Amino acid sequence: MNGTDRADSGVLEGAVIAVAGAAGPAGRATLLRLAEAGATVVASDANPERLVEAVDAARYAHGGATVTGDTVDLLDPGAAREWALKTEKEFGRVDGLVHLVGGWRGGSGFADTSLADWDFLEKLLIRTVQSTSLAFQEVLQRSDRGRYVLISAAGASSPTAGNAAYAASKAAAEAWTLALADAFRKAGGDEGPTTAAAILVVKALVHDAMRAERPNAKFAGFTDVTELAEAIAGVWDRPAGEVNGKRLWLTPQP
């Protein structure tokens, strides 16, 4: 997938897309892109202040767009399910869940790996995926264009000594998402899936504030958050069968 290809706004016009982890730079870019495409966007984040800022920015950038925000504890499967059902009840459908919850911890080498980092990342990168996928599976299957989109990292396929906890967490999140994709495949039967779970893989993300802080850095192989947002929207451009269970690389594959 080419991350610079713009999504056809008609595909997302009227769609209802939930975005988990919406308050960071990638989340903000995604809210803007989905609102621009005509989608109703339901954002969540653990930080209520940053979430309000992100939602307001998307609303103001695209007058008339419906962008709402909920503070949801995605470590609580019940809260995640309540969010999914509430969204479906309020808007009549849910056509997507974009999982942008992220974070990183690591060390200089394998011997320096802290299991406290694993405990932190297991909750942030795995448990939140488990909660959202279980909560949204049936809701997405009721859509005619349901998509579950996970953002992952190339390190999950090529872990380095200092990134054991992070890479293992990302790999587990990918495996869980691929299991969801298999459930969608089986639900589609002989006609193939109508709902898809896809993984967008980046080396790392970059945004304008990072460039301002490090003006001499090249950020080689990094994906700009606006390019990521384009690629996320583009998942709806392709039939479910083409993207279900697929890793879609936005950086050269190792």
pLDDT value at residue 7: 39
Q: Residues with Cβ < 8 Å from 49, sequence gap 6 or more?
A: none
- With cut-offs at 50, 70 and 90, classify the pLDDT of residue 161: very high
Residue 14, by phi and psi: left (phi above 0), alpha (psi -120 to 50) or beta?
left
- With cut-offs at 50, 70 and 90, classify the pLDDT of residue 154: very high
pLDDT at 9 over 80: no
Task: Please state the rounded mean pLDDT for residues 77-88.
Answer: 97
Task: Please state the rounded mean pLDDT for residues 113-121.
Answer: 96
> Based on the number of CB atoms within 10 Å of its own CB, is 215 exposed (0-12), middle (13-18) or buried (19 or more)?
exposed
pLDDT at 1 over 70: no
Task: Please state the rounded mean pLDDT for residues 97-105.
Answer: 95
pLDDT value at residue 2: 39
pLDDT value at residue 48: 94
* Single-letter amino acid, residue 242: E
> Based on the number of CB atoms within 10 Å of its own CB, is 172 exposed (0-12), middle (13-18) or buried (19 or more)?
middle
**Kind and range of the H or E element at 201?**
strand 196-202
H-type alpha helices, 92-127: 115-121
pLDDT value at residue 107: 87
- With cut-offs at 50, 70 and 90, classify the pLDDT of residue 3: very low
| Span 220-248, pLDDT tens digits | 999 999 999 999 999 999 999 999 999 99
Task: Please state the rounded mean pLDDT for residues 210-224.
Answer: 93
* Residue entry with tokens 């999982």: 99
The radius of gyration computed from the CA coordinates of the chain, to the nearest angstrom, equals 17
- Closest of 200, 218, 194 to residue 150, by C-alpha: 200
pLDDT value at residue 253: 86
pLDDT value at residue 10: 83
Task: Characterize 120-139 residue by residue with b for buried, 16 or more Cβ atoms within 10 angstroms of its Cβ, and e for exposed.
Answer: bbbebbbbbbbbbbebbbbb
C-alpha distance across the termini of the chain, in Å: 16
Average pLDDT, the chain: 94
pLDDT value at residue 6: 39
| Span 17-55, pLDDT tens digits | 999 999 999 999 999 999 999 999 999 999 999 999 999
